[in-house]
């Protein structure tokens, strides 16, 4: 396993090579949270461009919202019955909102597990990290839900429109104190992050000034949140003076406006910002690091980032054309970039659950047990360093932006043992609630990923091919076959006979013989460093 910086000279020309399971799996690893064996075969059959078209085709059908799973003998939400959604109920009660924030995270696990065959959930996480709001700081459950719906509904849409929606979204107004930003007490938080983190960035030619931050804050004065958690514009709080920006923005002056017209200054500010080519380059770099690799040198900048940013600008900041070009490129399928990313905790946990096709109770009809078991997964993510919808700060999770380590930050002496402990636990005991167990079915898994599980050679190759994205030495595979599947013997029939005995007569003894060997094999593979890569 090598994590040295990689650079491919291949560009954005469409990949013309053979479309094999390897490529289908690579595409799905980067665009979904894990792929089932049937998903890989499905997209392999469709071919490259048809696969990408389907992955980028986001349906507008709303998902069933999170439910009240928290009513109990000791606490009852006075406004929302058990099993009903709380997303439209407005409350400032801190205890209720604490329960709702937790409910949202458990619901999110169910959404990730049941994701459709498209990029929506993987990309929604990208955008929520890009805008980096913390649910714990926002506080109100309904605000959090509506805020993240912006990303889910607009993930492959227009980036300018997304920024506009986020700018005046109640959750963002609350998170970065926009609702406190007035002409008598301007607050620069959002005006700064809008430029530094959300649009222009800090790389390359991003030379906006401190005065630009102050003027952006003045432009944005007047936005606040009403009693129903809607954003409104209050002209009495708005700074009506003219705001002149630096030479970076060509000395643009946004003329101060009065009454309701003051809200129009926000759109003028965004129009001014989006005239800078740095915006397109900044976003394309982030998309590249998320979907391909963290390392960007001059070759990548010239061959990938600049042409992608030109596509972004030419399409008026529509996201889909950029992703379609990147995901279909020969650069994306260069073998250098297959198995080069360290999985995030979300990728690690959700991919595991989906690869093994572990079935949870229905999140609507059996929400109590479902949410209870999903909460175990939330806790696993937190322990591994990725608390859902609660990044550590406004910049998001460091592994997505912190140079020079980037995704290497996901792994350390604390988190790696926790990852291994999770996969071991799900193989050995799983989790149980009211007699409903979520655990790996080793024999069914072998059947799902292998065309002929009775052949130990085919089985070893199939399992490695499915679970690991890097090349594994043949001697290791041979040793695992001998020591685990053949129980130290040399002839293949020691496994073949055991498998056939179970399939013809699934007694407890026959089951335990096969299950024990499969369990040892899977645990060994998932404790390899290579399993942490995708």
DSSP E strands, 136-279: 223-225, 231-233, 243-244, 253-254
For residue 286, being part of any structural domain is answered with: no
pLDDT recorded at residue 3: 56
Exposure of 296 in the CB half-sphere (CA atoms within 13 A): 23
Q: Find the domain containing 475 and state its range.
A: 441-532
Burial of 60 (0-12, 13-18, 19+ CB in 10 A): exposed
> For the whole model, what pTM was predicted?
0.96
For residue 518, being part of any structural domain is answered with: yes
Is the confidence at residue 71, as pLDDT, over 70? yes
Q: Alpha-carbon distance 217 to 275, whole Å?
A: 19
For residue 517, being part of any structural domain is answered with: yes
Q: How far is CA 487 from the centre of its chain?
A: 40
106-115, 201-210, 424-433, 497-506, range with the lowest pLDDT: 201-210
Alpha-carbon distance values, 29 to 117, 208, 367 (Å): 12, 37, 29
CB of 510 closer than 8 Å to CB of 485: no
For residue 465, being part of any structural domain is answered with: yes
- The mean pLDDT of the chain is 97
For residue 436, being part of any structural domain is answered with: no
pLDDT recorded at residue 62: 80
Mean pLDDT of 297-301: 97
For residue 210, being part of any structural domain is answered with: no
Is the confidence at residue 5, as pLDDT, over 90? no
> DSSP per residue over 156-167, as a string?
TSBHHHHHHHHH
Confidence band of 96 (pLDDT split at 50, 70, 90): very high
CB of 322 closer than 8 Å to CB of 312: yes
Residue among 159, 96, 107 nearest 323 (CA) = 159
Residue among 13, 12, 44 nearest 117 (CA) = 44
Is the confidence at residue 4, as pLDDT, over 90? no
For residue 336, being part of any structural domain is answered with: no
What does the pLDDT look like over 485-524, one tens digit per residue? 999 999 999 999 999 999 999 999 999 999 999 999 999 9
Is the confidence at residue 63, as pLDDT, over 60? yes
pLDDT recorded at residue 61: 74
Q: How far is CA 269 from the centre of its chain?
A: 30
For residue 493, being part of any structural domain is answered with: yes
Is the confidence at residue 437, as pLDDT, over 90? yes
DSSP 303: I
Count of domains forming the chain: 1
What does the pLDDT look like over 318-355, one tens digit per residue? 999 999 999 999 999 999 999 999 999 999 999 999 99
Instruction: Output 2 or 71, whichever has higher pLDDT.
Output: 71
Mean pLDDT of 298-316: 98
Q: Alpha-carbon distance 103 to 87, whole Å?
A: 11
Residue among 199, 231, 198, 190 nearest 128 (CA) = 198
Q: Alpha-carbon distance 490 to 131, whole Å?
A: 56
Beta carbons within 10 angstroms of residue 322's beta carbon: 24
**Rg, Å, the chain Cα set:** 25
pLDDT recorded at residue 204: 79
**Helices 277-291/306-314 angle, 10° precision:** 120
Confidence band of 87 (pLDDT split at 50, 70, 90): very high
For the chain, counts of helices (H) and of strands (E): 24, 6
pLDDT recorded at residue 262: 97
Q: Alpha-carbon distance 19 to 46, whole Å?
A: 9
Percent of the chain predicted with pLDDT > 70: 99
């Amino acid at each position: 396993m090598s994590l040295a910086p990689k650079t491919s000279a291949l560009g954005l020309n469409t990949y013309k090579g053979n479309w094999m399971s390897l490529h289908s799996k690579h595409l799905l690893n980067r665009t979904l949270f894990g792929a089932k064996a049937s998903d890989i075969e499905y997209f392999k059959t469709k071919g490259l461009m048809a696969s990408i078209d389907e992955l980028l085709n986001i349906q507008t059908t709303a998902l069933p919202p999170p439910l009240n799973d928290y009513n109990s003998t000791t606490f009852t939400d006075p406004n929302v019955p058990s099993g009903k959604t709380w997303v439209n109920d407005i409350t400032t009660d801190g205890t209720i909102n604490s329960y709702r924030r937790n409910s949202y995270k458990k619901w999110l696990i169910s959404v990730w597990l049941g994701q459709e065959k498209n990029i929506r959930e993987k990309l929604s996480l990208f955008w929520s990290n890009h805008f980096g709001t913390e649910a714990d700081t926002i506080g109100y459950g309904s605000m959090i839900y509506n805020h993240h719906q912006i990303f889910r509904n607009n993930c492959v849409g227009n980036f300018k429109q997304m920024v506009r929606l986020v700018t005046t979204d109640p959750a963002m107004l609350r998170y970065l104190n926009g609702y406190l930003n007035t002409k008598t007490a301007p607050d620069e938080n959002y005006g700064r992050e809008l430029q530094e983190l959300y649009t222009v960035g800090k790389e390359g030619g991003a030379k906006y000034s401190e005065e630009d931050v102050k003027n952006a804050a003045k432009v944005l004065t007047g936005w606040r949140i009403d009693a129903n958690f809607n954003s409104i514009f209050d002209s009495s709080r708005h700074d009506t003076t003219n705001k002149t920006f630096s030479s970076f923005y060509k000395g643009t002056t946004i003329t101060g406006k009065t009454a309701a017209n003051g809200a129009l200054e926000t759109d003028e500010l965004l129009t001014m910002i989006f005239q800078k080519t740095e915006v397109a380059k900044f976003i394309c770099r982030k998309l590249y690091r998320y979907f391909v690799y963290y390392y960007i040198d001059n070759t990548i900048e010239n061959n990938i980032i600049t042409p992608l940013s030109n596509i972004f600008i030419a399409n008026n900041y529509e996201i889909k054309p950029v992703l379609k070009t990147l995901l279909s490129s020969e650069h994306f399928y260069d073998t250098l970039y297959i198995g080069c990313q360290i999985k995030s905790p979300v990728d690690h946990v959700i991919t595991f659950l989906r690869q093994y096709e572990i079935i949870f109770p229905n999140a609507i009809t059996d929400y109590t047990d479902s949410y209870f078991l999903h909460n175990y997964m939330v806790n696993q993510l937190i322990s591994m360093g990725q608390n859902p919808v609660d990044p550590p700060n406004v910049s998001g999770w460091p592994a997505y932006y912190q140079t020079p380590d980037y995704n290497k930050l996901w792994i350390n002496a604390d988190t790696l043992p926790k990852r291994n402990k999770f996969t071991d636990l799900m193989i050995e005991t799983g989790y149980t609630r009211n007699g409903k167990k979520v655990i790996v079915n080793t024999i069914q898994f072998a059947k799902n990923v292998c065309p002929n599980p009775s052949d130990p050679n085919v089985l070893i190759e199939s399992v490695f091919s499915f679970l690991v994205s890097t090349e594994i030495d043949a001697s290791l595979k041979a040793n695992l076959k001998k020591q685990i599947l053949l129980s130290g013997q040399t002839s293949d029939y020691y496994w073949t006979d055991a498998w056939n005995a179970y399939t013809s007569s699934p007694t407890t003894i026959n089951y335990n013989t096969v299950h024990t060997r499969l369990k040892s094999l899977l645990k060994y593979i998932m404790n390899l460093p290579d399993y942490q890569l995708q």
